[in-house]
């Protein structure tokens, strides 16, 4: 036999119509490929039952030197397929009619045009037909043409390819011969398959992305032609075979015509002979050798092809006589192949895995799919196996049940050795472990304490597995076992046979590096739950063991280990915690500091399960009562509240079980327990905007679970009703707990109304009112607000009912009216669509008018307002003044009432409003009362506030100055003027006098005065211009700038104001050299002795730039320069920061020094060669953004070119490499420096060149370190 699947004419005879036509298509494609012909037209119709006009296949080709081939006698050939059982099925008489139309008088149009085009007609028939029979039938064709009077009847080229010739042609191509064998069901050796049969093993859709498509394109490109060898490798389970299949997939054709672009891919597919698992290696190689000797054409694909087989096959494929090509597929890429393309398949993207799972297992819930995607880490086969297990009811995600797959992943084709298994199992106990640099101790520990082998042997084995198997992934200094299901399965196998003593030794041993503990715990939480694991974790939590003792749980390591065990065995973990802390008092719980965070996390997880909820929630309540993590969003208090949300509660426990925990907490009669429980009930009444950070539903290797979800509306309403009844009970108490319960009820009104819970609200609200009174403005405000927004949504009877409630809950006395209209009206005034602010003010005015005629009620209200802060008190006072005649009487009443109130409880807003209104009517009278107040020891502290409230006149300001002189006021008290903007109505001259008096009569008052002056002149060009001399005096005479910098308390508030004014002084109305000189000297002095200026250097950048402008540089730079070069000056480092710049978050901005004209810098450097260049080098950012390119700054170029021999200058220029702030990977930062240093390699100065070389080497090290850091960050994210 010529080759493994050689066929004969009898095999061709067994083909049906469609198979024969398909064979023709393959042969045409393969013949074109074999001779490398250029296709002009190529079509084959596979629709055998349709009229074909005398054509089943057609090809037209061209070639510069080839006129014909062994089976293409012409460059234009039309094929007609005939499938018969023997030659008698297609006689000469039938041939006579074959080329004619049904009238037997005219030639079929397609045949006619073909012969006129000098094309060849070939009858492609499956039956034997000897020469005589062929001549007889060819004559039959010609008779028909003669009858039609065709001019080419005698000259046209007609041939017959019978079964014998077709078999000979087919045998030139192993893939075509194999196709015939598959069609007739003839067994073939070595499990060979054509692409079509190979493809039948994959019924699911293939999903691709750019990464996979690049591999597919690479294989196609490099396998095309003869004597080509390609190697395709990757771990088991990644889908190498499927990717290879897709690389040879034929194009989808929309018509019978095959375009030149599609013909190449059609040839690749038609040419394939696929061998799965090269076990019969010798026969396979022998067959390939025979094919090579016979110059047969084809693409051989050998799956599970080891290196030796690959090398032997490659010898035959690359032989000079060969017309074959080879794609070998295997697990390993350690064959040492250098001359041929090698493609290594890496884990595919999560997007691909998700699409595969969704396509094959569309019924899986989205959380399960996401869990599978995350776990399988890019291994499609793993994903499919795990998804299949899940659909069969598996609860755990991490188990690989097929032992052969584990062995293949670890050992490849050979079964892994015991030592290999032991090592990879030990590595699988950790999510990652260090192997390099300072983390080398991780690997040493695993080798000596778990594997009981030497470090050298351990490293040799893991490197071998990493190299040959690829299941150990390197990330920076770390290794980890992948994919995750393999690691978890191996880790589970190790822990199953681990004794409790051995486990404790590993978990708590002093030898284990601290960095490994967290990695061990992270992996332990994923181990699969089976009886042996449950028994182990139960024993570890026993009170005789370390994890069963409170002191262990209150340690960082102990609590961290416990948190992982809690995910594996929640019941035993809960019992252990309860034994340790169930009876602990509040003080003892407060002392749990080192282990608290992990214990709270553990309790959060344990509260999720219904069977551990009660104990875990009671413990979480204890921790909430003894909270030591205030302000933390997931502290024990917040997690306890979360449990009572209706949705996204973080627990499977039903409401009745949750409320039992509340009942237990309330029954303690401990106010701290009761406060937490009542607040939790408020959370239970939340009706919308539910939010929970994901986590507790994903525990261990379990699939995601769901929180408790109500099945009916009745379950929801029953929960809310029970909560409201509990709150009602405690709201009846006149104590802080009662007030808190009332607050929770008030906050729930809107939500309960939305769900029409009117009956329960009626019961709760009016049961409380019977005990505590009917005036309840908070509830009536909510009812009003709800009616306003839902007036069209609720039935009429409900509206009537709610309005009745509002009437019942309204004010019962004049004090209640004052509470609603004056003290807090904006909260309780009903919404009616009008301007709410105007409505409140109108009601305030009306109430003042009403009270003006009711002296007794007025006094009662004024007494209340004198000791109660109120939002409308000032407006009420103003309105009252406008509707009362006896001003003195009202003012005296207010003063007397205030004098009867303790100083710390006084509220002067009504008096302030009254005096303000009186100011426009009788300013002198207001001033008289202010003077009286200043002289009253009980009220004098109100003077400044009342003055600020009442639009003061100059005499009032003088009174304040007198108080300031007599030490009855402090300069900071005048901030009240800033808050109320109380001076804007006064003329600038009066205000300037006032400010000057403040300066004269206070120490260090310049900051306060500056702020008042800034606010007075702000956004007013005329005032700003008039105050320019005053501001200048503040900066020059009073050193306001220095004072502000030194006063850290006022720094943040005044910084913007000071820089704003300074910028104006330096830029407006021409240069001000005095200010520039003064500021420069102050900055130099501050840099020498004050560190605060360093903290705000970015805020001062604008001032520095102004001081270095051309109009100021001749004044300022000599001062800066002299300080910098002075050996006695101590502020050079600070000046470097203020005048310089650094790389910050990707910004390469030039320093202020770059704005100085270069000749000035040049001269300075020449005058001070020992210090000036060095200062500049340390201050500037050498690389800046110039026209969207990061390059050497002009100053840096100057220093490099002129001071390249000065080592200190060069060192200064490079210090910004290590001093920078950056977001994200540091690699781009270092690469930017590297690119610019590489540009200096051709510098004429040898020292500069050497400096560049040293920095290039260092930067490359930095880049490698940054890449390692990026990999490690990715590891942690994963």
Domain count, the chain: 5
Q: Are residues 366 and 316 in the same domain?
A: no
Report the pLDDT averaged over residues 553-579: 96
Torsion over CA: 63, 68, 69, 74 (sign): positive
Angle at 1161 between CA 1160 and CA 1163, to 5 degrees: 65
Residue 824 lies in a domain: no
Report the pLDDT averaged over residues 459-484: 88
- Contacts of 1254 by beta carbon, 8 Å cutoff, 6+ apart: none
Residue 846 lies in a domain: no
CATH number at residue 285: 3.40.50.300
Please check whether residue 558 is in contact with residue 507, taking contact to mean a CB–CB distance below 8 angstroms.
Answer: no
Q: Are residues 121 and 111 in the same domain?
A: yes
The burial of 890, by beta-carbon neighbours within 10 Å (0-12 exposed, 13-18 middle, 19 or more buried), is given as buried
Residue 979 to residues 949, 957, 1015: CA-CA distances in angstroms? 10, 16, 10
Alpha-carbon gap, residue 1191 to 1194, rounded angstroms? 9
Alpha-carbon gap, residue 940 to 441, rounded angstroms? 73
Is the pLDDT reported for residue 829 higher than 70? no
Please check whether residue 193 is in contact with residue 178, taking contact to mean a CB–CB distance below 8 angstroms.
Answer: yes
Q: 3-class SS at 1199? A: helix
Cis before residue 483, ω within 30 degrees of 0? yes
306: tokens are 């080891």
Q: Which of 367, 394, 421 is the last residue of a domain?
A: 394
Is the pLDDT reported for residue 644 higher than 60? yes
Radius of gyration of the chain (CA): 46
Q: 3-class SS at 274? A: strand
Alpha-carbon gap, residue 605 to 639, rounded angstroms? 10
Q: 3-class SS at 1087? A: helix
Please check whether residue 99 is in contact with residue 111, taking contact to mean a CB–CB distance below 8 angstroms.
Answer: yes
- Bridge-based pairing of strands 157-161 and 120-125 is parallel
Alpha-carbon gap, residue 317 to 718, rounded angstroms? 79
pLDDT by residue (tens digit) across 125-165? 999 999 999 999 999 999 999 999 999 999 999 999 999 99
Whole-number pLDDT of residue 173: 94
The partner residues of 432 in beta bridges, in order of sequence, read: none
Q: Are residues 355 and 318 in the same domain?
A: no
Q: Are residues 274 and 317 in the same domain?
A: yes
Angle at 529 between CA 528 and CA 535, to 5 degrees: 130
755: tokens are 């769900």
pLDDT by residue (tens digit) across 891-932? 999 999 999 999 999 999 999 999 999 999 999 999 999 999
pLDDT by residue (tens digit) across 312-342? 999 999 999 999 999 999 987 767 777 899 9
Residue 1169 to residues 1164, 1202, 1208: CA-CA distances in angstroms? 8, 11, 12
Alpha-carbon gap, residue 724 to 179, rounded angstroms? 78
Angle at 1112 between CA 1107 and CA 1115, to 5 degrees: 105
First to last CA, the chain: 57
Residue 514 lies in a domain: no
Residue range(s) defining the domain that contains residue 1189? 1158-1277
Using alpha carbons, select from 663, 556, 657, 653 the residue that is nearest to residue 606. 653
Alpha-carbon gap, residue 1265 to 1259, rounded angstroms? 9
pTM: 0.80
Alpha-carbon gap, residue 676 to 630, rounded angstroms? 14
- Contacts of 764 by beta carbon, 8 Å cutoff, 6+ apart: 724, 725, 727, 728, 731, 745
Q: 628 — phi, psi (to 5°)? A: -125, 10
Is the pLDDT reported for residue 827 higher than 80? no
Using alpha carbons, select from 930, 1056, 1045 the residue that is nearest to residue 982. 930
Report the pLDDT averaged over residues 452-480: 90
Residue 84 lies in a domain: yes
Please check whether residue 275 is in contact with residue 190, taking contact to mean a CB–CB distance below 8 angstroms.
Answer: yes
Alpha-carbon gap, residue 1059 to 1013, rounded angstroms? 14
CATH number at residue 54: 3.40.91
What's the CA dihedral at 1148, 1153, 1157, 1158 to 10 degrees?
Answer: -80
Q: Are residues 96 and 196 in the same domain?
A: no
Using alpha carbons, select from 570, 564, 554 the residue that is nearest to residue 628. 554
Please check whether residue 1229 is in contact with residue 1220, taking contact to mean a CB–CB distance below 8 angstroms.
Answer: yes
Q: Which of 767, 791, 810 is the last residue of a domain?
A: 810
Interhelix angle 514-524/500-508, nearest 10 degrees: 130
Alpha-carbon gap, residue 822 to 779, rounded angstroms? 18
Whole-number pLDDT of residue 230: 96
Whole-number pLDDT of residue 1: 42
Is the pLDDT reported for residue 493 higher than 70? yes
Q: Are residues 139 and 205 in the same domain?
A: no
Please check whether residue 109 is in contact with residue 53, taking contact to mean a CB–CB distance below 8 angstroms.
Answer: yes
Using alpha carbons, select from 730, 751, 754 the residue that is nearest to residue 742. 730
Q: Are residues 206 and 342 in the same domain?
A: yes
- Contacts of 1029 by beta carbon, 8 Å cutoff, 6+ apart: none
The burial of 759, by beta-carbon neighbours within 10 Å (0-12 exposed, 13-18 middle, 19 or more buried), is given as exposed
pLDDT by residue (tens digit) across 1059-1118? 888 888 888 767 889 989 998 888 888 887 755 566 666 677 788 888 888 888 999 999
Percent of the chain at pLDDT exceeding 90? 68
Residue 1241 lies in a domain: yes
Q: Are residues 223 and 323 in the same domain?
A: yes
Q: Are residues 30 and 145 in the same domain?
A: yes
Using alpha carbons, select from 992, 906, 907 the residue that is nearest to residue 957. 992
Percent of the chain at pLDDT exceeding 70? 95
Residue 1091 to residues 1048, 1085, 1087: CA-CA distances in angstroms? 11, 11, 7
Helix (H) or strand (E) holding 803: helix 796-808
- Contacts of 215 by beta carbon, 8 Å cutoff, 6+ apart: 232, 243, 247, 343, 345
- Contacts of 165 by beta carbon, 8 Å cutoff, 6+ apart: none
1277 versus 1023: the higher-pLDDT residue is 1023
Q: 3-class SS at 15? A: coil
Q: Which of 170, 202, 236 is the last residue of a domain?
A: 170
- Bridge-based pairing of strands 323-330 and 229-234 is parallel
Number of alpha carbons in the 13 Å side-chain half-sphere of residue 997: 18
Report the pLDDT averaged over residues 599-616: 97
Alpha-carbon gap, residue 880 to 874, rounded angstroms? 10
Is the pLDDT reported for residue 1054 higher than 80? no
- Sole residue written with tokens 């899940």: 390
Using alpha carbons, select from 495, 499, 488, 549 the residue that is nearest to residue 522. 488
Is the pLDDT reported for residue 306 higher than 90? no
Task: Tell me which of 133-137, 404-408, 552-556 is least confident.
Answer: 404-408
Residues recorded for the chain: 1278
Residue 744 lies in a domain: yes
Report the pLDDT averaged over residues 707-727: 96
- Sole residue written with tokens 């002296």: 855
Alpha-carbon gap, residue 649 to 834, rounded angstroms? 40
Whole-number pLDDT of residue 617: 97
Residue 276 lies in a domain: yes
Q: Are residues 228 and 310 in the same domain?
A: yes
Q: 3-class SS at 720? A: helix
Please check whether residue 1123 is in contact with residue 1083, taking contact to mean a CB–CB distance below 8 angstroms.
Answer: no
Is the pLDDT reported for residue 48 higher than 80? no
Q: Are residues 381 and 331 in the same domain?
A: no
Whole-number pLDDT of residue 1277: 53
Alpha-carbon gap, residue 1195 to 522, rounded angstroms? 53
pLDDT by residue (tens digit) across 982-1023? 899 999 999 999 999 999 998 888 889 998 998 898 888 888
Alpha-carbon gap, residue 493 to 429, rounded angstroms? 10
Residue 888 lies in a domain: no
* pLDDT class of 49 with cuts at 50, 70, 90: low
Residue 637 to residues 560, 640, 1035: CA-CA distances in angstroms? 20, 5, 52
Q: Are residues 39 and 165 in the same domain?
A: yes
Mean of per-residue pLDDT scores for the chain:
90
């Amino acid at each position: 036999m010529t080759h493994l699947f050689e066929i004969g004419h009898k095999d061709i005879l067994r083909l049906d119509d469609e198979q024969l036509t398909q064979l023709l298509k393959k042969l045409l494609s393969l013949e074109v490929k074999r001779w490398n012909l250029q296709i002009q037209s190529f079509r084959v119709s596979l629709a055998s039952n349709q009229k074909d006009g005398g054509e089943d296949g057609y090809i037209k080709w061209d070639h510069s030197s080839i006129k014909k081939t062994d089976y293409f006698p012409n460059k234009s050939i039309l094929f007609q397929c005939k499938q018969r059982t023997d030659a008698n099925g297609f006689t000469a008489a039938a041939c006579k009619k074959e080329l004619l139309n049904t009238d037997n008088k005219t030639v079929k149009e397609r045949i006619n045009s073909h012969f006129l085009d000098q094309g060849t007609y070939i009858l492609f028939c499956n039956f034997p037909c000897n020469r005589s029979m062929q001549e007889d039938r060819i004559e039959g064709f010609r008779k028909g043409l003669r009858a039609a009077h065709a001019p080419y009847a005698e000259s046209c080229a007609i041939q017959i390819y019978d079964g014998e010739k077709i078999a000979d042609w087919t045998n030139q191509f192993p893939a075509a011969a194999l196709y015939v064998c598959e069609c007739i069901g003839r067994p073939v050796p070595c499990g060979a398959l054509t692409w079509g049969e190979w493809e039948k093993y994959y019924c699911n859709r293939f999903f691709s992305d750019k990464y996979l498509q690049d591999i597919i394109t690479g294989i196609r490109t490099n396998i095309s032609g003869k004597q080509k060898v390609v190697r395709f490798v990757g771990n088991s389970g990644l889908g190498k075979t499927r990717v290879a299949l897709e690389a040879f997939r034929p194009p989808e054709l929309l018509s019978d015509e095959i375009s030149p672009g599609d013909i190449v891919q059609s040839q690749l597919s038609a040419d394939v002979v696929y061998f799965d698992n090269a076990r019969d290696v010798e026969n396979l190689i022998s067959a390939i050798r025979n094919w090579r000797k016979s110059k047969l054409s084809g693409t051989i694909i050998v799956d599970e092809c080891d290196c030796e087989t690959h090398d032997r096959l490659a010898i035959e494929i690359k032989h000079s006589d060969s017309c074959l090509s080879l794609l070998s597929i295997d697990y390993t890429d350690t064959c040492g192949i250098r001359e041929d393309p090698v493609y290594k398949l890496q884990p595919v993207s999560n997007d691909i895995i998700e699409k595969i799972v969704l396509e094959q297992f569309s019924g899986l819930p989205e959380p399960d799919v996401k869990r599978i995607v995350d776990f399988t880490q890019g291994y499609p086969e793993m994903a499919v196996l795990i998804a299949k297990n899940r659909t069969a009811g598996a609860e755990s995600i991490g188990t690989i049940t097929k032992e052969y797959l584990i062995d293949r992943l670890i050992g490849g084709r050979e079964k892994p050795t015991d030592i290999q298994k032991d090592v990879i199992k030990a590595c699988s106990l950790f999510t990652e472990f260090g192997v390099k640099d300072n983390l080398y101790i991780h690997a040493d520990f695993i080798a000596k304490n778990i594997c009981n082998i030497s470090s050298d042997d351990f490293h040799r084995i893991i490197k071998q597995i990493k190299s040959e198997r690829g299941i150990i992934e390197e990330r920076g200094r770390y290794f980890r076992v992948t994919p995750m299901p393999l690691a978890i399965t191996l880790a589970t196998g190790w822990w199953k046979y681990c004794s409790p003593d051995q486990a404790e030794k590993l978990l708590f041993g002093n030898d284990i590096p601290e960095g490994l503990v967290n990695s061990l715990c992270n992996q332990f939480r994923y181990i699969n739950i089976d009886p042996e694991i449950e028994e182990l974790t139960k024993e570890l939590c026993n009170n005789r063991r370390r994890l069963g003792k409170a002191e262990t749980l209150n340690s960082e390591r102990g609590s961290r280990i416990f948190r992982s065990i809690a995910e594996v065995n929640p019941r035993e973990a809960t019992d252990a915690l309860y034994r340790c802390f169930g009876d602990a008092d509040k003080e003892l719980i407060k002392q749990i500091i080192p282990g608290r965070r992990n214990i709270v996390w553990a309790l959060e997880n344990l509260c999720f399960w219904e069977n551990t909820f009660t104990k875990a929630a009671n413990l979480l309540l204890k921790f909430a009562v003894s909270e030591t993590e205030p302000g933390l969003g997931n502290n024990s208090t917040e997690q306890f509240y979360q449990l009572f949300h209706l949705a996204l509660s973080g627990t499977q426990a039903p409401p009745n079980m949750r409320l039992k925990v509340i009942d237990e907490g309330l029954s303690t009669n401990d106010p701290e327990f009761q406060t937490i429980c009542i607040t939790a009930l408020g959370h239970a009444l939340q009706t919308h905007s539910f939010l929970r950070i994901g986590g507790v539903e994903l525990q261990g290797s379990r699939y995601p679970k769901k929180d408790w979800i109500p099945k009916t509306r009745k379950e929801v309403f029953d929960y809310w009703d029970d909560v409201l009844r509990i709150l009602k009970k405690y709201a009846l108490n006149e104590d802080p707990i009662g007030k808190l319960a009332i607050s929770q009820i008030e906050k729930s009104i809107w939500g309960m109304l939305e769900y029409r819970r009117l009956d329960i609200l009626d019961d709760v609200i009016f049961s409380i009112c019977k005990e505590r009174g009917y005036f309840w403005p908070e509830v009536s405000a909510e009812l009003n607000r709800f009616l306003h927004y839902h007036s069209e949504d609720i039935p009429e009877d409900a509206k009537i009912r709610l309005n009745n409630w509002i009437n019942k809950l309204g004010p019962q006395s004049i004090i209640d009216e004052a509470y609603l209209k004056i003290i807090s009206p904006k909260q309780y005034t009903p919404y009616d669509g009008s301007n709410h602010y105007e409505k409140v003010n109108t009601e305030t005015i009306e109430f003042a008018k009403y009270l003006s005629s009711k002296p007794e009620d007025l006094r009662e209200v004024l007494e209340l307002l004198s000791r109660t802060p109120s939002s409308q008190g000032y407006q009420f006072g103003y309105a009252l003044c406008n509707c009362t005649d006896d001003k003195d009487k009202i003012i005296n009443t207010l003063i007397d009432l205030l004098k009867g109130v303790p100083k710390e409880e006084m509220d002067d807003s009504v008096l302030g409003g009254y005096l303000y209104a009186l100011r426009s009517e009788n300013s002198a009278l207001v001033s008289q009362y202010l003077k009286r107040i200043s002289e009253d020891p009980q009220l004098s502290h109100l003077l400044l506030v009342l003055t600020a409230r009442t639009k003061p006149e100059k005499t009032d300001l003088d009174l304040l100055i007198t108080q300031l002189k007599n030490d009855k006021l402090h300069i900071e008290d005048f901030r009240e003027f800033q808050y109320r903007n109380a001076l804007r109505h006064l003329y600038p001259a009066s205000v300037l006098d006032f400010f000057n008096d403040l300066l004269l009569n206070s120490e260090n008052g310049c900051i306060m005065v500056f702020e008042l002056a800034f606010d007075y002149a702000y956004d007013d060009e005329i005032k700003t211009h008039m105050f320019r001399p005053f501001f200048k005096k503040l900066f020059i005479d009073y050193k306001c700038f220095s004072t502000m910098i030194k006063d850290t308390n006022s720094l943040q508030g005044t910084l913007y104001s000071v820089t704003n004014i300074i910028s104006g002084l330096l830029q407006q109305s021409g240069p001000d050299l005095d200010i520039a000189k003064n500021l420069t000297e102050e900055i130099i002095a501050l840099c020498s002795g004050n560190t605060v200026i360093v903290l705000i250097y970015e805020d001062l950048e604008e001032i520095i730039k102004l001081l270095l402008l051309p109009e100021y540089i001749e004044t300022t730079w000599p001062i800066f320069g002299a300080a910098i070069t002075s050996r006695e000056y101590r502020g050079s480092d600070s000046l470097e920061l203020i005048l310089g710049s650094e790389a910050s978050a990707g910004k390469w901005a030039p320093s202020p020094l770059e704005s100085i004209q270069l000749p000035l810098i040049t001269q300075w450097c020449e005058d001070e060669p020992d210090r000036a260049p060095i200062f500049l080098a340390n201050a500037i950012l050498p690389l800046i953004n110039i026209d969207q390119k990061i390059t050497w700054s002009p100053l840096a170029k100057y220093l490099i070119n002129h001071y390249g021999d000065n080592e200190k200058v060069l060192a200064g220029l490079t210090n910004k490499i290590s001093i920078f702030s950056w977001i994200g990977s540091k690699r781009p930062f270092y690469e930017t420096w590297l690119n610019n240093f590489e540009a200096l390699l051709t510098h004429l100065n040898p020292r500069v060149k050497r400096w560049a070389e040293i920095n290039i080497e260092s930067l490359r090290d930095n880049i490698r370190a940054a890449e390692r850091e990026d990999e490690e960050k990715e590891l942690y994210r994963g």
